[in-house]
Amino acid sequence: VKTLCKEWFPIDYPDVWYEDITSNPRFYALAATYHSEIIGLLVAETKPLSKMNKEDQDILPIGLSGPPMIGYILTLGVSTKHRRNGLASLLLDNYLAFLTTQ
């Protein structure tokens, strides 16, 4: 996972982040695999609007009713040779299905 994230993103995540996304239940993590190799990854967190960063709150529509829960995608990537095959869409669809059952 760490190798893929380095390939996909110009960010160096600390090692504790990789431990958290694989063991902390507050994160939703889903991997796409091919022949036992991770080729795609989605990491997300569902949290109340009140717990979001101010700059993230500002991009949401005004007037959300109730105590809204927000699906916050932290990472979404697919290995270069497996792109353009709908894997990212499949990962997103699975996350949306998860959100609608919560």
pLDDT of residue 6: 77
d(CA 12, CA 25): 22
Quote the pTM value: 0.76
Please give the chain's pLDDT, 102 residues, in tens: 777 777 777 788 888 888 888 888 888 999 999 999 999 999 999 887 777 777 777 777 766 555 577 888 988 989 889 999 999 999 999 999 998 887
Q: 7 is in which domain, residue-wise?
A: 2-100
pLDDT of residue 54: 78
pLDDT of residue 63: 66
CATH code, domain with 36: 3.40.630.30
Tally the domains of the chain: 1
